[in-house]
Amino acid sequence: MEKSEGFGEEIIHIIPLGHEIDRATKLFEEKYKANKAYILAVTETFRKYSQDMIDKQRYYVTVVKDKLEKFGITTEIRNVDMFKTLEVIRHISSIIAKEKAKNNRVFVNISSAGRLAAAAALLAAMAHKVKAYYVEADGYSENPEDKKEHGISICRKLKLEFIEGLPLQLPSDREMKVLTELCRRKRPMKPIEIVEYLGSQKTPGFENCLDIASRWIARKDKAYVKRINYLMKLNKGILEKLETNGYIERERVGTNNLVKITEAGIFVAHFSGEL
């Protein structure tokens, strides 16, 4: 992790936050710097968590935010249900995708929240090939005063470990587009609907299919053959791979063939950064 000088590529940190302070801020007290930090935390009740729990979490968010801003780091708070794996993956993936598109360097802290959030953060970091790091604790708070000053963990001296990423094989861009659209619509789609969507997104290989995707075309028309070719390209190049990997299921309902996303497909779609 290099120092940021405030020009060119920026250094971005993503900090999923529980009841921690030191583990979120210690590395910036010493030699490391950053341009911006995203703090992900439960700052609203989501109509299921107690206000007392939220008030406690907001305290840690405020302390961490104030400390980071004193170090000259711009902060952005994201209200995230940290007890839902897919929500954590979705938000982190979205931030990473946005910042990488700006050619910024992204780091993910996997030590400043609970185990569930840490696991989700690590998976998102590996999927997007960015660095994840873990701040080790020297000890743990034994009284309310310590917890108020340090959080659950106490870090007197910075001990930092970078986690080596494993190559997570995600679907191709075209395959991911299909999964994310199935996720958004929350219903099965006809293959011709998928072709039309890919055309609307100017997806390579489907750029010129919009004018022949959904309108009625006589079988003798040349456009009919083109439409069949697009459907075959969708089937062989995208749907067969997604089905083989268990991300979609296909079924016949009446006269229609329908494409349905599976639980595994929904999980993978949350890595897209597009949801």
Q: What is the pLDDT of residue 91?
A: 98
Q: Residue 242 and residue 175: Cα distance in Å, rounded?
A: 7
pTM over 0.95: no
Q: What is the pLDDT of residue 5?
A: 47
pLDDT in tens, 57-85: 999 999 999 999 999 999 999 999 999 99
Q: Residue 82 and residue 19: Cα distance in Å, rounded?
A: 12
Q: What is the pLDDT of residue 169?
A: 85
Domains annotated on the chain, with CATH = 11-163 (3.40.50.10770), 173-269 (1.10.10.10)
**Mean pLDDT, the chain cut into blocks of 10 residues (275 residues total):** 60 98 94 95 96 97 98 97 96 97 97 96 95 96 96 95 84 96 95 92 84 59 74 94 96 90 96 92
Q: What is the pLDDT of residue 222?
A: 65
